[in-house]
Structure 1
Amino acid sequence: MTEIPDGTEEGAAQALENLQRSETELLDVYQHHMVNRPFGYQDLYLLGIARRALAQAKAFRQCVDDRNGLIASAILRLQLDTVLRLYALFWVADPEAFAGRVFAGEQIDRLKAADGQQMKDRYLIDKIKDRNPWVEAVYKNTSGLIHFSDRHMHAAIRLKDEKSDSAEFFLGPNNPSHTLADFQELLEAFFHCTAMIVVAAGDWFSRFDTIYRREPPVVDSSSTLRPKA
């Protein structure tokens, strides 16, 4: 991968290109694995992961185009949430049963991993941060943007004169003073989240493709479960 200069238009443009490439790679993974195969709740789980990841990636890029940093940062937090929930599938004792319970409407953070621990955000972050140490910082820096917080209050004022410390109110969906270069860090973080989804989904498909050849799980057509909107 081309080394990205820090804080430059060129670097941000390269990060955006990397993100778009990762979206294409995610589609390629699913198109390769979701053809002529048995079908189970794990497939539904992974389909939901990809559907959410791709929808968020497009919305994120639109926010970057609009220079809407507040919402771009919030969507980054949602993409990280998608990463964490995908990796939850690796930590449970029975992935098919787990995926079925999620399909039925149970919350992942109320379910337990194979070691008996509830899969709260803290647990999932601790499981992946050794290989991906940046995850913890991204989680911390973006969590305050999901719910209304001081971050939104600070975003509504802008320093007008450093000498007098005078400020002005600032309203509107975007910050016209921001350039693409200001979004490089967000773009890189979003790319890494999406790339993790590509790798983990591909790995999981390869794992349970082997399992399917022995004992294919099948979604019960008589089940009372129904997809939720």
Structure 2
Amino acid sequence: MTTVGTTAGAEQALANLVRAETGLLDLYQHQMVNRPFGYQDLYLLGIARRTLANGQAFKKCVEDRNGLVAAALLRLQLDTVLRLYALYWVADPEDFAGRVFGGEQVDRLKAADGRQMKDRYLIDKIKDRNPWVEPVYKNTSGLIHFSDRHIHSAIRLDGNDGAAQFLLGPTNPEHEFAEFQELLEAFFHCTGMIVVAAGDWFANFDTIHRRQPPPGKEMRPTS
């Protein structure tokens, strides 16, 4: 958190995030009712579940002024974006979704061009149209695993005499809501990308994507 925003800007970003989450729920409630579905649909259900779970925790972190975990959740939301867009780069989306359903990791599977879908590959595929993705990925990746970022977050240095203070609490009480504007905007953009991509995928299921029901009886979601 290095950019100081405004209270109005942070409030608008939060409102945008809530609107995107509502849009995601509306999309799935419209698309996933009373029809057969396959592995791609299950994949998209997992995407939505993680998106909304991350969002709920992220908003709570903002409310608590817990910037350390809020930034880590932003990284997780970006990971969800990358894994959703992976569907666009594989030769057979239904087979790919089925393999992930069976426990295989996305980054160990290959795209249609034969390359493994590591984070670097997925970022390169979307960064031209979304240049903010790369710096957000770089700035938040150090918060997933324990790193120097966590150590520095526990230290406060007095600029006058160099005295150190140690912060052991879970939150950042010195942070104002306005300081979360940048994080809120980035989280909203990630969530918005998920809504758009999922909507596009649903719209094109029956024309360009193959669907194969999972083994066992046919499943028809009703709510």
Q: How many residues align?
A: 214
CA shift for structure 1 position 211: 5.0
Structure 1 unaligned spans of 5+: 1-5, 223-229
Q: Who is 2:202 aligned against?
A: 205
* Counterpart AA for 1:217: Q
Measure how far apart 1:36 and its partner are.
2.3
Answer whether contact 1:74 1:145 (CA < 8 A) is retained: yes
Aligned partner of 2:91 among 90, 93, 103: 93
Task: Give the structure 2 partner of residue 135 of structure 1.
Answer: 133
Per the alignment, residue 179 of structure 1 pairs with 176
Give the Cα–Cα distance (whole angstroms) in 1 for the partners of residues 211 and 73 of structure 2.
36
C-alpha RMSD of the superposition: 1.3
Displacement after TM superposition at 1:210 (Å) = 3.0
Residue in 2 that maps onto 1:21: 19
Aligned-pair distance for 1:216?
A: 5.0
How far did 1:217 drift?
A: 2.2
**CA distance in structure 2 between the partners assigned to 1:101 and 1:217 by the alignment:** 12
Q: Could you say which residue in structure 1 is the equivalent of 2:221?
A: none
Q: Give 2:220's aligned residue.
A: none
TM-score norm. by structure 2 comes to 0.93
| CA displacement at 1:209 relative to structure 2 | 3.2
Q: Please, which of 42, 46, 49 is the counterpart of residue 47 of structure 2?
A: 49
Higher relative contact order (CA 8 A, sep 6+): 2
What amino acid is aligned across from residue 65 of structure 2 in structure 1?
A: R
**Aligned to 2:156, what secondary structure does the other structure show?**
strand
Residue 156 of structure 1 corresponds to 154
Alignment of 1:75-86 (within 5 A): 75-86=73-84
Distance 1:211 1:218, change over 3 A: farther
CA distance in 2, matches of 1:188, 1:47: 24
Q: Residue 216 and residue 7 in structure 1: after superposition, are their counterparts in 2 closer, same or farther (change >3 A)?
A: closer
CA distance in 1, matches of 2:34, 2:102: 25
Which whole-Å CA distance do the structure 2 matches of 1:138 and 1:24 have between them? 24
Asked whether the equivalents of residues 38 and 216 of structure 1 are also in contact (C-alpha less than 8 Å), the reply is: no
Deviations 1:128-168 (A, max 9, x none): 00000000000000000000000000000112x31212221
**Could you tell me whether the CA contact under 8 Å between 2:155 and 2:167 is conserved in 1?**
yes
Which residue is 1:106 aligned to? 104
Name the TM-score, length of structure 1 as normaliser. Answer: 0.91
The percent identity for this pair of structures is 76
2:30 maps to which residue?
Answer: 32
Alpha-carbon deviations, 1:191-212, whole Å to 9, x = none?
0000000000000111113357
Q: Is the 8 A contact 1:157 1:167 kept in 2?
A: yes
Report the equivalent of 1:64.
62
CA distance, structure 2, for counterparts of residue 86 and residue 41 of structure 1 = 13
